[in-house]
Amino acid sequence: MTPDELTDLENIKRLKYAYLRCLDQKDWQGLRELLVEDATAAYSGGRYTYQGRDEIVGFVERNMGREQFHSSHRAHHPEITLEGDRAAATWALEDIVVDSEWNFLLIGAAFYEDVYVRVGESWRIQHTGYRRSFEMTLPTTSIEGFALTASWWGTDGQSSLPVM
Amino acid sequence: MTPDELTDLENIKRLKYAYLRCLDQKDWQGLRELLVEDATAAYSGGRYTYQGRDEIVGFVERNMGREQFHSSHRAHHPEITLEGDRAAATWALEDIVVDSEWNFLLIGAAFYEDVYVRVGESWRIQHTGYRRSFEMTLPTTSIEGFALTASWWGTDGQSSLPVM
Amino acid sequence: MTPDELTDLENIKRLKYAYLRCLDQKDWQGLRELLVEDATAAYSGGRYTYQGRDEIVGFVERNMGREQFHSSHRAHHPEITLEGDRAAATWALEDIVVDSEWNFLLIGAAFYEDVYVRVGESWRIQHTGYRRSFEMTLPTTSIEGFALTASWWGTDGQSSLPVM
């Protein structure tokens, strides 16, 4: 690969990382800017499908907007194929959600199939979608002594655990 | 590093990513093609040791073949040393298994020590092995309300959770 | 980006990977060598703040030194900005702790904001700090049948689970 191709790979990875950072920090304006206007999404094996940036961001904001909804989405294992000003990629996702209002924990895994396009000097998301390997949920009230000990919103990101 | 060396690093990372994708998608033929014929494996601190591609793939298929065995193996933190047509690497593993037949959850972490070889234009696995940092299991029946809400095989990768 | 810049990115990533490997393997001497002498740390939204390599390594060693404290710290999503001989980076952390003496499980997520400096041919950590997205804990004794089935220290990294 040439330095230009290696740079494209690095920049596409960073696009995905920024997308997931915006998601978990609830930065909806930042998220918008990473998607082209006619972007499409097919989450959860296509069960949650959206057309256009407005629909996608609307879906995410409605379902992940509450500050009691704490999420960690981590993308692993990028296998990116460059095709000039387009690129396709497979990623492995793991996600954790702990909801301190509805008292549930979710742990999931999936494989993404994304498409990116070059817009000027940078890359944007044209399509994103994933199919679940598994997803499990449990009520946190079922576990005696379960505690949320830090929250980005509730505790300024600080833990309440003692240290030595 | 030269562009060629940077390309080798990228291609070795993708070899590992493809290996783990094949593992979690139960693509045994795909897995075979990533190993050289005389590849060796020493999983779990050497407790599960195999000689040759047939033994390795056989072990994996016997133990991870059931569709109720849902796994997510994620490799992090590649520290790769290139030595011409060979390479050595350390990786940090986290893995989750949720088994909906035997009703257990497993969460583990480990460090891989791998060896790769260049075969023609591509890289293959010569040796793979890991030592566990920890591994924990629990019966999912011990948690009231535990549910598997999506499965690659059981639900076509779709979640049964409602969204807004 | 030039090959030199791409190499800097790779080397900075490896610095972070080595830091987390030393942490989880309890290699305190290895950890020391990755920090400049006047390094600073602000963990957990700044609640745990330390000045200088001695204070940082002392904090880590006091709190994570016991062999019953099994940790997996995984850094994802590097967004690195090079500025000559300095660099700033955002990372997404997920960490798991399973403590077999105090019988608790911790699962957390956070975003790091780090600063690195070039020292001779290599990179070192000048500042590291993270803010928690969330952190949850539970007593493992609350889950009937919970078991630690492998430990780097307690079982030489081998699992006690049967395989076929």
Contact at CB, B150 and A142, closer than 8 angstroms:
no
Q: What is the mean pLDDT of residues C119-146?
A: 98
pLDDT tens for residues B58-75?
999 999 999 999 999 999
- Cα distance between residue B92 and residue B42, in whole Å: 15
Backbone angles phi, psi at C104, to 5 degrees: -135, 155
Q: What is the mean pLDDT of residues C10-16?
A: 98
Mutate to test the interface with C, among A148, A152, A153 (most CBs of C within 10 A): A152
Q: What is chain A's pLDDT, residue by residue, as a tens digit (164 residues)?
A: 999 999 999 999 999 999 999 999 999 999 999 999 999 999 999 999 999 999 999 999 999 999 999 999 999 999 999 999 999 999 999 999 999 999 999 999 999 999 999 999 999 999 999 999 999 999 999 999 999 999 999 999 999 999 98
CA distances from C27 to A54, C65, C69, C115 (A): 49, 10, 14, 22
pLDDT of residue C59: 97
Break chain A into its structural domains and give their ranges. Answer: 3-142
pLDDT tens for residues B23-52?
999 999 999 999 999 999 999 999 999 999
- What subunits make at least 3 CB pairs under 8 angstroms with C? A, B
Residues 6+ apart with CB under 8 A from C83: none
pLDDT of residue C158: 97
ipTM of the complex: 0.96
Interface membership of A146 toward C (CB under 8 Å): yes
Interface membership of C135 toward A (CB under 8 Å): yes
CB-CB contact of C13 with C75 (8 Å): no
Interface membership of A63 toward B (CB under 8 Å): yes
- Among A3, A96, A155, the residue with its CB nearest the CB of C109 is A96
Class of CATH domain A3-142: alpha beta
Q: What is the crossing angle of helices A3-25 and C3-25, to 10°?
A: 50
- Cα distance between residue B98 and residue B104, in whole Å: 6
pLDDT tens for residues A52-90?
999 999 999 999 999 999 999 999 999 999 999 999 999
- Cβ-based contacts of B21 with chain A (< 8 Å): 77, 79, 90, 92, 111
Q: Which residue has the tokens 């449990």?
A: A138
CB pairs under 8 A between B and C: 122
Contact at CB, A159 and C109, closer than 8 angstroms:
no
pLDDT of residue A127: 98
* Reported pTM: 0.97
Give exposure, B60-93, as e/b (b: 16+ Cβ within 10 Å). Answer: beeebeeeebbbbbbbbbbebebeeeebebbbbb
Q: What is the mean pLDDT of residues B118-142?
A: 97
Contact at CB, A76 and B74, closer than 8 angstroms:
yes
User: Strands, E, within chain C: which ranges?
Assistant: 35-43, 48-51, 69-83, 86-99, 104-119, 122-139, 147-151
Output the six-digit token pair for A134.
Answer: 């598994």
pLDDT of residue B119: 97
Interface membership of B157 toward A (CB under 8 Å): yes
Interface membership of B122 toward A (CB under 8 Å): no
**In chain B, positions 14-43, which contact chain A (CB-CB < 8 Å)?**
14, 16-18, 20-21, 24-25
For residue B125, the one-letter residue type is I
